Amino acid sequence: MAVVGIDLGTTNSLVAIWRDGKTDVIPNALGEKLTPSVVSLSDKGEVIVGRAAKNRLVTHPERTVSQFKRLMGTKERVNLGGKRFLPEELSALVLKQLKQDAEAWLGEVLSEAVISVPAYFNDNQRRATVAAARVAGLHVERLINEPTAAAVAYGLHEDAAEAQMVVVDLGGGTLDVSILEKFDELLEVHASAGDSFLGGEDFTHSIVTQLARKYSIDLTDLSPQERGGLYRFSDKVKESLSENQAAQFEMKLAEDTRQFEISRDEFSKWSATLMERFSAPLERAIRDAKLKRDDVADVILVGGASRMPIIKNYVGRLFGRIPSSNLDPDQVVGMGAAIQAAMKARNKELKETILTDVCPYSLGVNVAQEFQQGYQSGFFDVILQRNSVIPISRVSRYRTVADNQPKLSFGIFQGESRLVKNNIYLGQVEIEVPTAAAGEECADVRFTYNVNGILEVIISVPSTGEEKILVLQNSPNQLTDEEIAVSLEKIASYRIHPRESAKNIALLSEAERMYSEHLGYERDEIQQLIYQFEYALESQDPEHVEAVGARVKARLEEIKSGFVF
């Protein structure tokens, strides 16, 4: 049975497989390699995923959602057409669509996958990804960090010579920086840093806010459809500025047709604060790895947002070389995940390589510190230092601080602050100890961090032999087995549009979006095209639908080609 690699991205997702000596990125029902990570709910209660859903961000914003990957690991619920979804459930719908597309293409049932995650994903986010896969009907063979997957796709694991590589992965919603070294049969990560809330979407948002300021637009006065259209055009402008020194577009806002223009220099100024956030993780990773510029064999740019000239230029200046981006930045992570899946399946075509990764955050417990006025809690005691090579297991001993203290309580945290209130809470565990004088009783706390980046905590009392294992799914932000079962039932109850109609749904949603964005005779023509296609659909004649759909699509492409950025 095949094991696929999946890149579950903030903006786009894809599924790939290694076979016949190469990586194949599996196309979806529309024949596209990338499936937008967007979910929409139709008026009939049907789930729409991918390109058609993305079009509905403009036409049906109240029934459509994107960027929910940023909410993974939280219990925040997303309102979608009056229904409330957990981030894991929305991600599961995307994974389920990828699974269906792959099964149709391969002609076999899939049950296992290697799924990539941002290297800087915390424990809650990683467990949420595994839960989403379970809801989608997939067993996670392994989670692989996105920069490591990219390095594998570039063949660093096959390089006979020792080499160090820097991978900078700027996707739609996250930034990851990893420094890797290849020697013998080992591909080892030396340092990892990043920002789970910085990506291409933030650069798009900066264009929207600065355009509003430049052209005196009150965003709160715009309708949801107008705001959606402005974001879409701003995203197109961002892409256009990767190739051109300036970009223009026009759209109707509050009954007025507005002309917009932005230069590459303006965009660079508007992005200054974001670039400060971008530079900090790079500098931290270099510092943690004790890296020297001359030691670097290659610098790889990954993620669609890495195409922006401000990113390429900054990374080039920092490392004194032109970064590599000869593989498609949008597909390289999924390709690497597919190669790792083949390695796990012991594919004989691939050289067996041991991949090691690092713990991107420090992990520890909440402890009390002694001051003149007595003990004060809330301080972070690190058990696993950030960038420790995994898998890893470490133990620390903690003693009672009061006479006749009946138990020891440990809060588990992840982060870099000396105060636990500034770190990420992962869970809590208590264990009873025999009453005795302060300091006479103790408990050992063992942290074990595995290759999937998931933490196991074991608390034991040496004097009694009592032991407790912290099940982190029981922390406030994790789905329990019961909640996963409920989500499975919930997702199953929503009808998913069949693959056979996915092309038609996408074409209609594209036409509806274009209708909302155009004016005058072009809007009237688009409306007539929609009528023609809907009439053809009513005939239920596949050949007629195919013929009319092809004509409508061709004309829509002609209309779009005259709309210059």
Contact 178, 119 (CB under 8 A): yes
Which among 79, 78, 57 has a CA at the least distance from the CA of 224? 57
DSSP 464-495: T--EEEE-GGGSTTS--HHHHHHHHHHHHHSE
Residue 298 among the catalytic residues: no
Tracing tokens 């009528």 back to the chain, one arrives at: 531
Both structure tokens of 421: 């209130």
Strands (E), 349-451: 354-359, 363-371, 374-384, 388-390, 392-399, 407-414, 424-432, 442-449
Angle between the N-to-C axes of helices 542-561 and 499-517, in degrees from 0 to 180, rounded to the nearest 10:
30
The residue from 101, 123, 141, 169 that is catalytic is 169
The 3-state secondary structure of 98-156 reads HHHHHHHHHCCCCCEEEEEECCCCCHHHHHHHHHHHHHCCCEEEEEEEHHHHHHHHCCH
Residue 146 among the catalytic residues: yes
Gyration radius of the chain over CA positions: 26
Where residue 428 falls (left for φ over 0; alpha for ψ -120 to 50; beta otherwise) is beta
Distance, in Å, from the CA atom of 395 to the CA atom of 441, rounded to the nearest integer, reads 16
Residue 421 among the catalytic residues: no
Residue 370 among the catalytic residues: no
Tracing tokens 């007025």 back to the chain, one arrives at: 256
Which among 15, 38, 199, 194 has a CA at the least distance from the CA of 121? 194
DSSP 324-341: B--S-TTTHHHHHHHHHH
Contact 455, 121 (CB under 8 A): no
Contact 9, 172 (CB under 8 A): yes
CB within 8 A of 227, min separation 6: which ones? Answer: 61, 219
The residue from 33, 69, 96, 238 that is catalytic is 69
The residue from 123, 146, 298, 441 that is catalytic is 146
Contact 264, 241 (CB under 8 A): yes
Cβ neighbour number for residue 215 with a 10 Å cutoff = 12
Active site residues: 7, 69, 146, 169
